[in-house]
Amino acid sequence: MSNLTLDHVVKRYSSVTVVKDVSLAIDEGEFVSLLGPSGCGKTTILRMVAGLIDPSGGTIRIGDRDVTRLPPNKRNIGLVFQSYALFPHLTVHENVAFGLRRKGQSGAALDARVGEALAMVRLAGYGERYPRQLSGGQQQRVAMARAIAPRPNVLLFDEPLSNLDAKLRDEMQIELKRLQRELGITTLFVTHDQAEALSLSDRVCVMQDGVIQQFAEPETIYRRPATAFVASFIGKPNRLAGTIRGGRVALDEQLELRSESDLSGDGRPVEVFIRQEAISLAASGDESVNRIAGTVALRSFSGPQVKYVVRIGSDQELVVEAPSSGPAGDLAPGQPVMLEVHPQDVLVLSRETAP
């Protein structure tokens, strides 16, 4: 077990740069997710760490060893693929034993380690089967057992759960987290599912176009996004245009909101993000909150939640979520409403950083 460091790593394909100067330090035993939209370079980074792609620049370190130029078989890593990549011509037992045999293990010691790894993913007794005789979830667990059996220094996952159905994915997430905790192996996990990233990780690294946008704890990513991109990518935010005016953010001539974000620089054009779930339709009587008057324009029912599109100010709209069983579950279009938003939920970010 050791830490993983990427130092100014760059990857260029002839004319395009797909990973631009990425620096990342992952602590020993830490679980870090790489989160970002499709094509932002997540897989490329993961494969550079694995040694399957040569970086165009920068250094990659595992523990205190510079592995940048080492072939994959010299790096002592475990990689779990989206496609599972189990060896179809080998039994489950032999698949899991593959890495152990490469490390010179054999006989009873090998069998014990394979049994241990299979027990960890709850597949004890499946050793004699072939991969094609297993379900997708079971194959995924064999892939995990195969990766952890040789006790790698670093575990790498490339969207390992995206081929599973929603229910199985939830189960596997918990399983994966438990396994990683038990083993304490430094883990880099690639996903484009934000809920997965937020719930599994110690820290999340949000990327866009080959650049790290923010690297922080899940709570921080969610509550204090560093850039407009992160704010718009995480959760379901309302995105509004505004201007800084006298220590407040103005959405138009009349409507001004208080915020806990940086409000310096009078007249600066900004983007304002307010999450759907942070807007309340119930009057709290609290004087410190923002009040916004509006009219319901649209109502959409989805079981436990109702969504409203509320017209505010002169020409802006907010999407608001409310519990359908509550007092605000039954508003008709055209009805005037008073919205409340806590200043800490009004995120103000410079417009330049917007994509």
Partner 1 sequence: MRSWRTGVLLFSPLLLVLAGAFIVPLILLAPTSFREYQPGMGIVAGSFTLQNYVRIVADDYYREVVLRTLGLGVGVTVACLLLGYPVAYLIVRGRPGWRLPLTLLVIFPLMLNLVVRSFGWIVLLTNRGVVNNLLIDVGLIEAPLKLMFNVTGVTIGLTHIYLPFMVLMLVAALQNVPRDLEAAAATLGSSRFHVFRAVTLPLTAPGIIAGSILVFVLTISALVTPRMLGGPTYQVMATLIYDEYMQLLDWPSGSALSFALALATLLIIWISSRMTKRWAGLA
Ligand X SMILES: Nc1ncnc2c1ncn2[C@@H]1O[C@H](COP(=O)(O)OP(=O)(O)OP(=O)(O)O)[C@@H](O)[C@H]1O
- Minimum distance between the CB of residue 94 and partner 1, rounded to whole angstroms? 10
* Out of 10, 81, 258, 295, the residue judged to bind partner 1 by CB under 8 A: 81
User: How far from 171 is each of 126, 137, 175, 193, 322, CA to CA, in Å?
Assistant: 19, 10, 6, 15, 28
User: Whose Cβ is closer to partner 1: residue 102's or residue 178's?
Assistant: 102
Specify the residue, 130 or 222, whose C-beta has the smaller distance to partner 1. 130
Strands 237-245 and 211-216: unpaired
Interface contacts to ligand X, rule CB under 6 A: 13, 18, 36, 38-44, 192
Could you tell which of partner 1, ligand X, Mg ion, none binds residue 192, using a CB distance below 5 to 8 A set by kind?
A: ligand X
Task: Locate the DSSP E strands across 246-346.
Answer: 248-250, 256-257, 269-275, 279-280, 290-302, 305-312, 316-323, 336-341
130 binds partner 1 (CB under 8 A): yes
Which positions ≥6 away from 199 have C-beta within 8 Å?
A: 173, 177, 218
SS3 content of the chain, % helix, strand, coil (to 5): 25, 35, 40
Are the C-beta atoms of residues 57 and 9 closer than 8 Å to each other? yes
- Minimal CB distance to Mg ion: which residue? 43
DSSP code at position 313: T
Interaction between residue 89 and partner 1 (CB under 8 A)? yes
Q: What is the DSSP code (8-state) at residue 252?
A: S
Q: Which of residues 287-326 bind partner 1 (CB under 8 A)?
A: none
- Which of 134/155 has CB closer to Mg ion? 155
| Strand, coil or helix: 170 | helix
Residue 87 in the binding site for partner 1 (CB under 8 A): yes
If one asks whether residue 44 binds Mg ion (CB under 5 A), the answer comes out as no
State the binding partner of 44 from ligand X, Mg ion, partner 1, none, CB within 5 to 8 A by kind. Answer: ligand X
Least distance (Å) from ligand X to the CB of residue 51? 15
d(CA 112, CA 92): 14
Quote the tokens at residue 101. 């045999």
Residue 13, contacted partner among ligand X, partner 1, Mg ion, none, CB below 5-8 A by kind: ligand X
Q: Contact, 91 vs 114, CB < 8 A?
A: no
Nearest CB to Mg ion, comparing residues 35 and 250: 35
Terminus-to-terminus CA distance in the chain, angstroms?
38
Question: Which region, judged by CB under 8 A, interacts with partner 1, from 7-15, 67-75, 278-286, 304-312?
Answer: 67-75
CB of 196 to Mg ion, least distance (A): 14
CB 329 within 8 A of CB 267: no
Contacts of 100 (CB under 8 A, 6+ apart): 110, 113, 114, 149, 150
- Min dist CB 67 to partner 1, Å, is 12
Shortest reach from residue 290's CB to partner 1, in Å: 51
- Nearest approach, Cβ of residue 46 and ligand X (Å): 8
- Contact by Cβ (8 Å): 228, 354: yes
Q: Which stretch binds Mg ion (CB under 5 A): 39-47, 104-112, 174-182, 204-212?
A: 39-47
Helix, strand or coil for residue 234?
Answer: coil
Which residue ranges make up the site for partner 1 (CB under 8 A)? Answer: 47, 50-52, 71-73, 75-79, 81, 83, 85-89, 98-99, 102-103, 130, 146, 150
Which residue ranges make up the site for Mg ion (CB under 5 A)? Answer: 43
